[in-house]
Amino acid sequence: NESAELADVVLPNSHWTERYDPIANPPFKFEAVGDHEWYWFFRRPMIDPPPGVQHWCDTMIELADRAGFLPDVNMLYNILNELNDSPQQLELDKRYSYVEMCDAVLQNRYGVSVDWYEKNQTQVFTEPKDIEEAFPGPFVPGRYHVYFEYWKRVKPDLDKVVADLGIQDVWDTDGYTPLLTWKPCPAFEPKNGYDLFAINYKVACHTFSHSYTNPLELEIGHTYPWIYRVPIHTSTAAKHGIKDGDKIWIESEFGYRVEGTAHITEGIHPECVGTSGFGGRLTRGAKTGRKVSPNWNTLVGQRLDLMDKMNSSLDGCVRVKIYKA
């Protein structure tokens, strides 16, 4: 995959069909409000992994042990999973397997163990909810935090650090305010002929980039013109002399461009051009799904002035122009 092509060392990892994943997702994804039961999903292996291949988490545990910071890993695991002062608390100097570490969380939180799932040959544990658990809002005392006073208190120190580093031109501190404040992003206004927004949307037949390796899902995707093509509004296409099925370039204000096939439609805003999902794999080793449609990530700028200084995320708006290939 793309990450492997960038790596200096590639370690083998068992496939999800070959391994135990007692905590396949963060607990909050399985602890939603509503009158349904509590449930916990446990992924059990369907087949054995090849000899010498293990769960990537076990590889990381082994590396931590060999590098000498395994006690720090166990300490942080106890804190994050609220295991301290419980019978399931991990010993700091002991090396556990990933399944053993997950088992401690299962027993502490739900009172069931990995053995329970094996004994019952199931992948789901359920428990009934009481009314306060199903609809907690009316029963939760307290206030909502809407005024973050500490930003006002620390902003002078922050301004000094930014000035000392000489990064005022790329590190705007106006967003560090006690109240939520709207401000336009760098792509808010059109500039230098880049008059459109490149937007990205999910489609039902794909999940992230993984499913682009599945020929069946690719076949389904090709039955809908707006999945792998570039949706352009009728009026926008006419303005640029583009017809349905034309090969086009989408070029961003940062000088990056991707190629696609135009799909003329009324189902998109005139100021936007669309790309779906990841637009296909970029790895040269991909046997299927490589560059089946434009890759939106390629268009995004990688600069500090485009980063949200409060959460370190890159701006999701990008100005582009389109023209025939």
pLDDT per residue over 163-186, tens digit each? 999 999 888 898 889 998 888 888
What's the DSSP call for residue 279? -
What band does 76 get if pLDDT is binned at 50, 70 and 90? very high
Give the contacts of 210 (CB within 8 A, at least 6 positions apart). none
pLDDT, mean of residues 290-299: 88
| Strand-strand pairing, 257-265 and 247-252 | antiparallel
How high is the pLDDT of residue 190?
Answer: 86
How high is the pLDDT of residue 27?
Answer: 65
Tokens linked to 307? 């980063």
pLDDT at 298 over 80: yes
How high is the pLDDT of residue 285?
Answer: 78
Q: Answer for the pair 310, 179: CB distance below 8 angstroms, yes or no.
A: no
How high is the pLDDT of residue 126?
Answer: 86
CA distance linking residue 241 with residue 237, whole number of Å: 6
pLDDT, mean of residues 193-209: 89
pLDDT, mean of residues 127-156: 88
Rg (CA), the chain: 25
How high is the pLDDT of residue 273?
Answer: 96
Give the helix ranges, DSSP H, for the chain: 2-6, 56-67, 70-80, 98-110, 114-120, 131-134, 149-165, 215-221, 225-228, 234-239
CA distance linking residue 52 with residue 59, whole number of Å: 11
Residue type, 11: L
pLDDT at 112 over 70: yes
CA distance linking residue 322 with residue 299, whole number of Å: 12
Residue that is written with structure tokens 């637009």 in the block = 279
Q: Answer for the pair 263, 293: CB distance below 8 angstroms, yes or no.
A: no
Q: Answer for the pair 286, 213: CB distance below 8 angstroms, yes or no.
A: yes
Q: Answer for the pair 285, 153: CB distance below 8 angstroms, yes or no.
A: no
Partner residues linked to 281 by β-bridges: 290
Average pLDDT, the chain: 90
Nearest Cα to 274, choosing from 322, 235, 242, 325?
Answer: 322
What band does 198 get if pLDDT is binned at 50, 70 and 90? very high
How high is the pLDDT of residue 319?
Answer: 95
CA distance linking residue 258 with residue 236, whole number of Å: 18
- Encode pLDDT of 232-291 as tens digits: 999 999 999 999 999 999 999 999 999 999 999 999 999 999 998 877 677 887 778 888
Task: Look at residue 263 and give its three-state secondary structure.
Answer: strand
Tokens linked to 239? 């303005």
Q: What residue ranges define each of the domains in the chain, with the CATH number in brackets? A: 8-139 (no CATH), 143-183 (no CATH), 196-324 (2.40.40.20)
What percent of the chain stands above pLDDT 70?
A: 98
- This prediction's pTM: 0.74
What band does 124 get if pLDDT is binned at 50, 70 and 90? confident
pLDDT at 114 over 80: yes
Give the contacts of 153 (CB within 8 A, at least 6 positions apart). none
Task: Look at residue 325 and give its three-state secondary structure.
Answer: coil
- Encode pLDDT of 31-60 as tens digits: 677 888 888 888 889 999 999 999 999 999
How high is the pLDDT of residue 30?
Answer: 62
